A and B are shown apart, each in its own frame.
Chain A
Amino acid sequence: MAETEESTGPPATLIDPIEMSKLDTKFREEIHSMPNGEELSACFACSTCTAACPIANIWKYKPHQLIRMILLGMRDEVLSSDEIWLCLTCFQCQERCPQKVRVTDIFFDCKNLAAEEGKVPPNIVGLGKELLEKGQLYTVTADWEREDMGLEPDVPGLSVDGLRNILKETRTSKLVDGDK
């Protein structure tokens, strides 16, 4: 502790606290001003979102903690967290929230902010690349299931070119190119 000289109080302990003054107090307003953030401050940390989440058990930061971190201004931690990308977007948290906080949508906002700063996990970039190149994430292949059902090997009338062109002109391509 650098300020120990100044302190006239009891001795410092082993606690290494988060310095509130070093957090980004604007972050709360930033999220609040986004289309889904209106009810952000209504959160009273009941943890209903975490109770509803089917996968938060394996998360380092649970949904209610992410919302807390947004409210406290822990911008870097939230935007570089894996959790916002791991979210299944099942919307259970948002449906159950007693204060109408749009939890899942707020995580989308966080993802958008993170993407703008280039903080996208490689596997997500990989997906983007796949989309750009193939125009679809899951390519339909001629397999035994289609054959058993008497379907032709290719999906009739499937055209991905249009989508591929659109994606090239949008942020998806910037994201993927930015990574290169």
Chain B
Amino acid sequence: MSNPVLIIGAGVAGMTAAVELADSGIKTILVERQETVGGNALDLYKAFPTDDCFYCFEGNRWRPGIRKCFYRSALTDQPNISLRMNSEIGDISGAPDQFSVKLKVGPGYVNPKKCTMCGLCLEKSEAFRLLSPQCQPQAVVYDPTKADDGAKQAEEECPTKAINLGAQPTEETVQVSDIVIATGYHEMQPVNVDEYNYGKHPNIITQLELAKIIDPIGESGGVPVRPSDGKPAKRVMMVQCVGSRDENYYPYCSKICCIFALKHANILTQERDDVKVSVVYMDIRTYDRYERYYRESRNTGVEFVRGRVSLIEPRKDDTLDITVYDSLLDKYLKFSVDLFVLSSALEPSEGTDKLIETLGIKSTSGFVGMVDPASENEVVVGDHIYACGAALGPAEVPESVTQARAVVSKILQSRK
């Protein structure tokens, strides 16, 4: 019996790899740092290229290629998958094919196998939260920093006895044959890009923050609102290439920000009431079939301004006056907007550098680099070490899934 496969990160790529390996009869250990699986994709309400809702299974049932909801429910029910939430990777030692990996497993306050999400604890204490109705594992989460008497009461009264407030973090060492890095990306917080005033005004946000605001299950029910006062935003301006293609930050093109900016623009103009969207850009890079997002947004009246932002002046009513240099007209234009959205660079997620160092693998602009750049095996990053999804660089969902399946294929081939 071979050792199990360790998969780091339960986002789109990691979940796909875990479920497909498990379905092929291979034991996997899926480690996730956060309290729910899904990664960045969880915050998106629609995903390109199909514009499918990220929550419901119903809409996708007839389409066998898209099984994301199935993946999530498989995570707790597939016996070959051992899911470790709240957990991080410690030291890695040993030779390829027999790695010895230390796991720092976070305290399991709520047992997901027992929790029925009845909501009793949510009423008792604010320390308990339901991250999303579709969260996986299907359980509430507990924040120990908000511990109160209500939490203790909830522990006692929980009908299924799923809560254990005394849970402690544990450490364990696992023996694994292969390591799959699926650590994904992180959206840069552009606090250092002075010209955009990010972090200095509540109505200056990033694209992922906008995604949360316009998410129908979010606080505003999907209405685009200004974070400053919760009033509906009628005029939205987006600016592309914030920190991407910038030698001061990240020299590479983050590849998917144009598409998700246009996706958001289309949602705002087509599905929300009376919102005017302007996009300030250097180049719109909607590669491959995504050109349709660009054409669609132009048709629906999204205003495109080729140029850069020269000045942001906040007003007392929380609107922003934004002066943009239009390089096509060679003129300066002054807009008044409610929301200013930065398409910020996608950077390697936190800890990627350490992981690269520990495993002694290559790095490409901070992301995991493939062993042989000339080879077609972009998922092979070391001996018995693989990577998939945005751990290799900014990637869209279908690409992450394809890479995850490539990893599965490689591992199966190595074991035949």
Q: Mark A1-17, 1 if CB is under 8 A from B, else 0.
A: 00100111110110111
At the interface, yes or no: B328 with Cβ under 8 Å from chain A? yes
16 A-B pairs within 8 Å (CB atoms) are namely A6-B316, A7-B321, A9-B311, A9-B312, A10-B312, A15-B332, A16-B332, A17-B323, A17-B324, A18-B332, A44-B294, A44-B298, A45-B306, A45-B328, A65-B329, A68-B328
Q: Mark A43-67, 1 if CB is under 8 A from B, else 0.
A: 1110100000000000000001100
Query: Looking at chain B, what size class is its interface with the partner chain?
Result: 20 to 34
At the interface, yes or no: B313 with Cβ under 8 Å from chain A? yes
At the interface, yes or no: B314 with Cβ under 8 Å from chain A? yes
Q: Which of A3, A18, A19 has the most CB of B within 10 A?
A: A18
Chain B residues near A20 (CB-CB < 8 A): 333-336
Chain A residues packing against B (C-beta within 8 Å)? 3, 6-10, 12-13, 15-21, 28, 41-45, 47, 64-65, 68-69, 71-72
Select which of A7, A15, A42 is within 8 A of B315 by beta carbon. A7
Chain B residues near A43 (CB-CB < 8 A): 298
Given A16-B332, A45-B304, 19 more pairs with CB closer than 8 A: A6-B315, A6-B316, A7-B313, A8-B313, A10-B312, A13-B310, A15-B311, A17-B333, A17-B334, A18-B331, A18-B332, A18-B333, A20-B334, A20-B335, A42-B299, A43-B298, A44-B284, A44-B294, A68-B329
A21 to B319, CA, bound (A): 14
Chain A residue with Cβ nearest B197 = A9
Chain B residue with Cβ nearest A42 = B298
Chain A residues near B294 (CB-CB < 8 A): 44
At the interface, yes or no: B251 with Cβ under 8 Å from chain A? no
Which secondary structure dominates chain B's binding surface?
Answer: strand
Separation in Å of the B69 CB from the closest CB of chain A?
36
Chain A residues near B298 (CB-CB < 8 A): 41-44
Chain B residues near A3 (CB-CB < 8 A): 315, 321
CB within 8 Å for A9 and B313 given contacts A20-B336, A68-B329: yes
Separation in Å of the B320 CB from the closest CB of chain A?
8
Separation in Å of the A33 CB from the closest CB of chain B?
13
Chain B residues near A16 (CB-CB < 8 A): 332
A41 and B313 contact, CB distance less than 8 A: no
Separation in Å of the B259 CB from the closest CB of chain A?
15
Chain A residue with Cβ nearest B200 = A9
Chain A residue with Cβ nearest B316 = A6
Chain A residues near B43 (CB-CB < 8 A): none
Chain A residue with Cβ nearest B336 = A21
A20 to B299, CA, bound (A): 20
Q: Mark B243-285, 1 if CB is under 8 A from A, else 0.
A: 0000000000000000000000000000000000000000010
B303 and A8 contact, CB distance less than 8 A: no
Chain B residues near A69 (CB-CB < 8 A): 329
At the interface, yes or no: B114 with Cβ under 8 Å from chain A? no
A42 to B292, CA, bound (A): 11
Q: Which of B298, B324, B332, B335 has the most CB of A within 10 A?
A: B298
A69 to B332, CA, bound (A): 13
A47 to B327, CA, bound (A): 12
Within 8 A of A (CB), among B285-307: 294-295, 298-299, 301, 303-304, 306
Within 8 A of A (CB), among B22-81: none
Chain A residues near B316 (CB-CB < 8 A): 6, 8
CB within 8 Å for A9 and B314 given contacts A17-B323, A44-B304: yes
Q: Mark B74-98, 1 if CB is under 8 A from A, else 0.
A: 0000000000000000000000000
A64 to B306, CA, bound (A): 12
A121 to B99, CA, bound (A): 82
Select which of A6, A9, A42, A72 is within 8 A of B295 by beta carbon. A42
Q: Which of B295, B321, B332 has the most CB of A within 10 A?
A: B321
Q: Which of A3, A8, A41, A71 has the most CB of B within 10 A?
A: A41
A19 and B334 contact, CB distance less than 8 A: yes
Select which of B301, B310, B326 is within 8 A of A41 by beta carbon. B301
B313 and A10 contact, CB distance less than 8 A: yes
Separation in Å of the A13 CB from the closest CB of chain B?
7
Chain A residues near B311 (CB-CB < 8 A): 9-10, 13, 15
Chain B residues near A18 (CB-CB < 8 A): 331-334
Chain B residues near A68 (CB-CB < 8 A): 326, 328-329
A20 to B329, CA, bound (A): 14
Chain B residues near A42 (CB-CB < 8 A): 295, 298-299
A8 and B329 contact, CB distance less than 8 A: no
Chain B residue with Cβ nearest A61 = B329
A165 to B310, CA, bound (A): 58
Chain A residue with Cβ nearest B326 = A68
Chain B residues near A8 (CB-CB < 8 A): 313-316
Chain A residue with Cβ nearest B299 = A41
Chain A residues near B314 (CB-CB < 8 A): 7-9
Chain A residues near B284 (CB-CB < 8 A): 44
Chain A residue with Cβ nearest B201 = A9
Give the 3 A-B CB pairs with smallest separation, nearest first. Answer: A9-B313, A17-B332, A17-B334
